[in-house]
Structure 1
Amino acid sequence: MEGCAQRALEKHNRGIERLACDHLGQHNASTLYKWMGNGRLPLSLILPMEHACGAPLITRYLAAAHGKLLVDIPTGRECHAQDVQQLQTVLNDAVGAVLAFSSGKQSANETLAALRAGLESLAWHHGNVQQHDHPQLELGDHDDE
């Protein structure tokens, strides 16, 4: 929750008061401070909180806590050279992270984050290839990250 609040402030200039009142329907920020302090944000407010910060940080945390990956739903759109180059970069970073970890130059958390990014990217491309014969409309906000 603190990561969401920090991102909302940095990326969208939304402080705690604005998050609480404008996006979570609270009368003041004290309730949000309490939830952040004890880690008990009501489930019905997770999506509005993530939308206000522009990234699914809480959802990613919950998925990772259960050993799951969070992957954007592929649309089956045509793959461009830029998409493949981005995949190569992410996978290269993942392999580099494993090598750095093996030589004691990188922490396990940093290595796991790089590996997770690589797996998520590969899973998206896998789904995109599966969806290729049945392309979907790209709906929703794509400026989240």
Structure 2
Amino acid sequence: MTSRLTAARARFWKRQRPATLRDALAQTKEYAREAKNLGVERIAELMGLEDHWALYKWIQSGRFPLVLLPAYEHVCGIDLATRWLAASRRKLLVDMPIGKGAEQGDLVQLGADFQHAVALLHDFYQSNGSADAEPVLAALREHLQAVAHHHFNVSGFSDPQLDFGS
């Protein structure tokens, strides 16, 4: 039951779309409380801040020092503020995972996933937007993440990372 609850909670947070930066900062703090049992005092300590009251003030006002945002999101374990910043500028963020090289099956799956996403997109446009957009968005997002994975691997091909685990 615990794993099902954790999976449901992860899906909930993954779909969060904060409306404002202040909302994103507050939801990030809430995620840290729920998922990692961290309060503001502990978050500030892990960020290396001496004054946890400053962190309270920044979250409340939405005037967060940008230089501290990566540390805040890293400690909290979720990047809601970064996603809000990108979305507010009409940009799409795609995780660029690193991993093993592609095998033939991986590339075939990439093509099949692309065809599936395009078919859903076609059906959505044929319905004049009356169909549910979430499956279309999910398929497009998954395809973009897979392409980003290959983009990262190809761009780093001339400078490979050492593989210490096998």
Q: What TM-score results when the alignment is normalised by the length of structure 2?
A: 0.56
How far the C-alpha of 1:56 sits from its partner, in A, is 2.8
Which of 145, 156, 161 is 1:131 aligned to?
Answer: 156
Displacement after TM superposition at 1:46 (Å):
0.2
CA distance in 2, matches of 1:46, 1:70: 16
Match of 2:49 in 1: 25
Equivalent pair of 2:86/2:93 in contact (CA under 8 Å): yes
Query: Residues 79-125 of structure 1: CA distance to partner in whole angstroms, max 9, x if unpaired?
Result: 36997799689768856874568463535xx4685234432332222
Out of 77, 82, 98, which is 1:59 matched to? 82
Output aligned runs, 1:1-145, within 5 Å. Answer: 1-23=25-47, 25-28=49-52, 30-73=53-96, 75=98, 77-79=100-102, 98=121, 99=123, 102=127, 104-106=130-132, 110=134, 114=138, 115-137=140-162
How far residue 41 of structure 1 moved from its aligned partner, in angstroms, is: 0.8
Q: Runs of 5+ in structure 1 lacking a partner?
A: 139-145
Instruction: Compare relative contact order (CA 8 Å, sep 6+) and give the higher one, 1 or 2.
Output: 1
Residue identity over aligned pairs, in percent, reads 39
The one-letter code sitting in structure 2 at the alignment partner of 1:125 is: H
CA contact (8 A) 1:3 1:57 kept: yes
Q: SS of the counterpart of 1:104?
A: coil
Q: Which has the larger radius of gyration?
A: 2
In structure 2, the CA distance between the partners of 1:44 and 1:87, relative to structure 1 (3 Å rule), is same
Supply the AA of the counterpart residue of 1:13: N
CA RMSD of aligned residues (A): 3.8
TM-aligned CA distance change 1:60 to 1:91, over 3 Å: farther
Which range is displaced more, 63-72 or 11-20? 63-72
Distance 1:74 1:116, change over 3 A: closer
8 Å CA contact 1:76, 1:127 repeated in 2: no
Q: Which amino acid aligns with 1:36?
A: I
How many Å separate the matches in 1 of 2:99 and 2:158? 7
TM-score with structure 1 length normalisation?
Answer: 0.62
